[in-house]
A and B are shown apart, each in its own frame.
Chain A
Amino acid sequence: MHVVYPVVVSALLFSIGVYGLLARRNAILVLMSVELMLNAVNLNLVAFDVWLRDRLHGGQVLTLFVIVIAAAEVGLGLAIVLAVFRTRQTIDVDRLRALAERDPATGVAERDPATGVAERVPSGDDDGEGRS
C-alpha cells in the first residue's frame, strides 16, 4: 500500500480536527477535535514507521506515548469542563471570557460582541473581597 493513502487520510482527519477546534462552541466537541488531530498525527507516525522500515519502530513507540498523553489530556480536559460547567452553567467557549483583557479599574470585561452586555468577571486577585 502506498504511503500516500494513510497520509491523505491523516491530513483529512487533521483538517477536520482543526475545523472543529476553531469552529465548535461546545467545549467537549473542541476536546474531541483535539483528539482527532492527535490521532491524525498517530496515523502519520505509524504509516511512516512502516514505510521507512524503522528498525527501532520509533514511530510506533511515539504513537503509544501520544495515546497515553492524549488519554491523560482528555481526562484533565473533561475535568476542567465539568468544573467550568459547575461554576458557570455553560460550557460554551464563546462565553468563557474570563481571560479577556479588561479594564483594571473596574474589573469589567470588554463588551461581549454577541450580547452587547459587559460581563462581570469573577476574579480573585483584583478585588480582595472575593465576589463571585
Chain B
Amino acid sequence: MISVVALIIVLPFAAAVLGLLGSRWPRGVSRTDRDDLAAGRRAAWFAIAPGAASAALTLWLALDLSRGAGRSGPGAPFWTGLLPGHAEGTLTVVETGSVPISVSLRADGLSVLAGILVVVVALAVQVYSVGYMRDDSRYPSYSAFISLFTSAMLLVVYAGDLIVLYAGWEAMGLCSYLLIGHWWEDRANSRAAVKAFLVTRLGDVGFLFGIFTLGVAAGSFRIDDVLRADIPRGTLIIATLLLLAGVAGKSAQVPLQTWLPDAMAGPTPISALIHAATMVAAGIFLVVRLYPAFLAAQPTLDVLAVIAAIGMLGAALAALAQDDLKRVLAYSTISQLAYMAGALAAGSDGAAIFHLVTHGAFKALLFLCAGVVIHHVGSNLMSHMGGLRAALPVTFWSMTIGFAALMGLPPASGLFSKDAVISAIEHAHGPAQPFLYASALLTVGVTGAYATRAWLRTFFGPERIEPLPEPPPGTAHVFDGREAPRSMLWPVGVLAVPALLLGFAGPGMAGVETDWGAAAVSLVLALLGAGIVYALWRAAPEQDPARLLGPFRGPCERAFSVDALYAALVARPVLRLARGVVRTDATVVDGAVRGSGRATLGLSGLVRLIQNGNAQLYVTGVVAGLLILSVAAVVLA
C-alpha cells in the first residue's frame, strides 16, 4: 500500500529525470528545427504518461482508503469520514546523533485529497502545455521541471516526517525559480524568478527553525509523534509562529506576498500550477497537517487571523485596479488563500481544505483560460482585450464558470466553500475575529467587483485586438483563426466540471454544512460589487470600471507600494551594506594583505643596499659582528 504512495511520488520524478536526460538523446552536434520538434514530442510523452499513471494510482489509493476502517468522530474534519483509511511506511531511520530522521511516508484522507488535487491539476497543466509551449525550443526542460515540481509537492503531501516534508518544500522553491524564469532572456523574468526564490527562502528560514523547535521538543520529527507529544505551550507558540513564516512565504500571505504577482512572468500554465495545486497550497496544507499544534497555540492563530484579514482585503483591492489579466488572478489567489488562512485562524480546517480544493480547481481553470486568451491576443493587458466572447466560445464559458466560482455565485463550487469559510469565521472566537469577519465580508464584495471587471473587460465591449506584426519572443503568438489547439481546450473543459460541481460534494460527501443565511449575505454582497461594476461599465464600456476606486486607484494598482516599501526598507539597505562590505574588503582586508607585502618589499630594499657585491664589505660586517660579540661576552662575563 505504501509502495503505491512511493510510486505516486517517484513516477513524476522519474519523468523529470527522463525528460531532462532523454528528450534529446542521442545528443547530436547540430540542432535543427526537426530535432526540436521530435524532442518536444518525446518530452511530452515523458511528461504526460507518468503523470497520468500517477493520477490513476492516486485515484486507486483514494478508493482503497475510502474502504478503510473508520475512526471519525463528531469533531473530526470531513476527510476522515470521507477517506477513513490510513497507511504509513518507513523506509529507513537516519540516526543524526540527537533527533532521528525517519524517511517515511503516510497517506490518509487529508493527503490523498490534496494529492488528487495536485495530480489532476498537474496533468491538466502538462496536457495544456503541449499546445501552449509548442513553439518553445526549451519545452523538454520545461515539462521536466513541471514533473519535478509535481513530485516535490506530492512529497510534501505524503510526507510522514517533517524533514522529508521540508525536502519537498525546498525542491518546490527551486522548481518555482526555474519555471518562473523560463523565459530568462528577458531580464525582468529572471529578476522575478530570483525574487520569488529569495522571498520564499526568507520564510523558509523560519520554517526550518520551526521544524527544529518542534522536533527537538517532541524528540522526533515524525508528524504523528510531534502531534502526539506533550509540548509546553510556550515552545509550541514559538514553533508555530516560526512555521507561520514559512507558510506566509509559500502561500504568499502578508507580509511575504510580493513574489506572487511578479511570478506571473512565467508561462501561464506555470501560474496555474503554482497558484492552484502546488506551491501556494503547500502552506495551507502544512498548517492543516499540523493543525493540532496550531490549535494549541492560540496567539499564532490570532496572528494568522490578522494576516488573513489584511491579506484578503488588500489583495482584492489590488486585483480590482490591475490591468494585467494574470496579475488580477494573482492578487485574487492571495486573497483566496487569505480566506483559507482565515478559516484556519477561525478553527475550521475542514472549511480551509474544502476551499483549497475548490479554489485549486477554479483557479487552475481561470489561469488556463487566461492562457488561451493571452495566446489569442498576444498580450497580458486587459486594455488590449475585449469582445472575445464570439472568438473564444469554449474559453468564454469556462472562464465564466471560473469567475462565478471565484465570486461565489450559485451553483459554482466557490459558493459552498466560501460559505463554509465565512460561517466558520462568523462563529469563531478570538480578539481578531470581528476584524477578520468584517474583512471577509468586504472582500466578498470586492471579489465580485474585480471578477466582474475582468470578465467584462476580457470578453465584452469593443474588440481591441491589434494584429501583431511579429510575435515578440516569449509570447508564442500566431493567430490562425482557431480558438486554441485541442490540447489546450481539453484541460480547460475538464477542469470546468469540478469548478462548477465540486461544491455539491461539500454538503453531500464532505459533510460540510451549508449555512444558507451566511451564503445569502455573501451572495448579496458579491452581487452588489458585481452590480456596481456592471453599472459603471454600462455607462462607458470603453473605460476601465476600476475608476470607481477614485483616488485610491493608484495605490491599489501599485498594491499599496509594498514593493517600494520593501525596496526602501530591505533591498536598498542590504545593497548599501553589500557595497560597504565590498569596499571594506577592497580597502581594509586587501589593503592589509597588499600593504604587508609592500612594507616587506620596502624594508627589504633597505637591507638590499648592503649587498653591493663587494665581498670585503661582507667580511667587514662579519668581523665587526664577531668583535662586538666577543667584547660583549667579555664585558658581560
Contacts and interface: CB of A to CB of B under 8 A. Distances in A.
Interface of A: 18, 21-23, 30, 93-94, 96-101, 109-110, 113
Nearest to B610: A101
A22 B613 contact: no
A13 to B, nearest CB: 15
B158 to A, nearest CB: 70
Interface residues of B, number: 10
Contact of B613 (A21, A30, A109): A109
B613 A96 contact: yes
B623 A18 contact: yes
B612 A110 contact: yes
B612 A97 contact: yes
B187 interface: no
A126 to B, nearest CB: 15
B619 interface: yes
A21 B612 contact: no
Interface SS, B side: helix
Contacts of A99: 611, 613, 615
Interface of B: 608, 611-616, 619-620, 623
Nearest to B627: A18
Interface of A is mostly: mixed
B619 A22 contact: yes
A97 B616 contact: no
Given A98-B613, A110-B613, 14 more contacts: A21-B616, A30-B616, A93-B614, A93-B615, A93-B616, A94-B616, A96-B613, A96-B615, A97-B614, A100-B611, A100-B614, A109-B613, A110-B612, A113-B612
B614 to A, nearest CB: 6
Nearest to B618: A99
A101 to B, nearest CB: 4
B614 A101 contact: no
Contacts of B614: 93-94, 97, 100
A15 B608 CA distance: 29
A107 to B, nearest CB: 13
A101 B619 contact: no
A93 B618 CA distance: 12
A7 B484 CA distance: 118
A21 B500 CA distance: 113
Q: Which one of A30, A93, A101, A109 has the highest number of Cβ atoms from chain B below 10 Å of its Cβ?
A: A101
A113 B611 CA distance: 13
A114 to B, nearest CB: 10
Q: In the complex, which of the residues B608, B613, B620, B623 has the most CB atoms of chain A within 10 Å of its own CB atom?
A: B613
Contacts of A93: 614-616
Nearest to A99: B613
A100 B612 contact: yes
A26 B360 CA distance: 103
A96 B616 CA distance: 11
B613 A97 contact: yes
B612 A22 contact: no
Contacts of B623: 18, 22
B634 to A, nearest CB: 14
A98 B613 CA distance: 6
